[in-house]
Amino acid sequence: MLSRSSKKEQGTVLCSQYLDNKKEQRTVPCSFFWRDLVKFLDLVKTRQSVRKYLDKPVEREKIERCLEAARLAPSASNSQPWSFIVVDDPKLKEAVAKETFSQLISFNRFSLQAPVLIILISERPGFLNKVAEAIKDKQFSLIDIGITAEHLCLQAAEEGLGTCMLGWFNEKGVKKLLDIPRSKRVELIITIGYPESTEIRPKKRKSINQIINHNSYS
Ligand SMILES: Cc1cc2nc3c(=O)[nH]c(=O)nc-3n(C[C@H](O)[C@H](O)[C@H](O)COP(=O)(O)O)c2cc1C
């Protein structure tokens, strides 16, 4: 956990970071927070689903930073109901990619090109969360999975990598290939790699007027 604790000297700020439950302190530039806040919307705009990849390996440290961003995502009651499998062994990766399309439904065929696949598994929420989900009739864990997936994809964008979240795949086949117990759910597969093109497409989104109301539904 990185927290802004005290101002040490002008231009720097002392931060506490918890790594493996050990507290470390380091000094980072004071502008760090504000600079990154300003850039956030730009980062959001550069994240897009990438469906064409270069035949170029992805550095392991970049994947690790993406996973770190995913690990730090918030979740209901901090339950962190997720686990990840990084699939980068070429043969295995090809086999998993082949579970995301068929002859009939082939729109995910591009996943064969991605050098890395990240499998996102939802882990059972703890007892308290299960009770909360039942009372509130909400699947908090799926909300959590969406947040952690987007953290990962945004960090990938920051690293110059392209991603695409895949919700369409043969879950049974993926579980078999990766020894995932039948009781678990594979919620998403994220393709990662260097994009073939660095062009940022205009976003196709509903307009602000269509989706935002103030102080009442309509
Ligand atoms: C939960 C989820 C499942 C998705 N599944 C697929 C998929 O199976 N195949 C695919 O090509 N894109 C998939 N996408 C990507 C969306 O089509 C894409 O995010 C959306 O069209 C917006 O485009 P953008 O990501 O380029 O901004 C998925 C996205 C989400 C969030």
| Alpha carbon distance 72, 145 (integer Å) | 12
The pLDDT tens digits along the chain (218 residues) read: 344 444 444 455 454 444 454 555 565 554 555 555 548 999 999 999 999 999 999 999 999 999 999 999 999 999 999 999 999 999 999 999 999 999 999 999 999 999 999 999 999 878 888 888 889 899 999 999 999 999 999 999 999 999 999 999 999 999 999 999 999 999 999 999 999 999 999 999 999 999 999 999 98
Q: What pLDDT does residue 132 have?
A: 87
12 Cβ neighbours under 8 A, 6+ residues apart: 27, 28, 29, 30
Q: Which two tokens stand for residue 62?
A: 């970049």
Check if 168 has its Cβ closer than 6 Å to any atom of ligand 1: yes
Q: Which residues contact 182 (CB under 8 A, 6 or more apart)?
A: 175
Q: Which domains does the chain have, with CATH numbers?
A: 1-30 (no CATH), 43-197 (3.40.109.10)
Index of the ligand 1 atom closest to the CA of residue 100: 8
List, as one string, the DSSP characters of 32-72: HHHHHHHHHHHHHHH--B---B-S-PPPHHHHHHHHHHHHT
> C-alpha distances in angstroms, 78 versus 19, 58, 126, 140, 143?
17, 30, 10, 11, 12
Beta carbon of 46 within 6 Å of any ligand 1 atom: no
Distance 9 CA to ligand 1 centre (A): 45
From ligand 1's centre to the CA of 27, what distance in Å?
38
Q: Is the CB of 167 under 6 A from ligand 1?
A: yes
In total, the chain counts a number of residues equal to 218
pLDDT in tens, 80-91: 999 999 999 999
- Cβ 108 under 6 angstroms from ligand 1: yes
Strands 22-29 and 12-19: antiparallel
The number of the ligand 1 atom at minimal distance from the alpha carbon of 168 is: 8
3-state secondary structure of 75: coil
Cβ atoms of 95 and 189 within 8 Å: the answer is no
Task: Give residue 127's pLDDT.
Answer: 84
49 in contact with ligand 1, CB cutoff 6 A: yes
Q: Which amino acid is at 174?
A: V
E strand or H helix at 186: strand 185-193
CB atoms near residue 167 (< 10 Å): 10
Radius of gyration of the chain (CA): 20
**What percent helix, strand, coil does the chain show, rounded to 5?**
40, 25, 35
* 165, 174, 191, best to mutate for ligand 1 pocket (most atoms within 8 Å of CB): 165
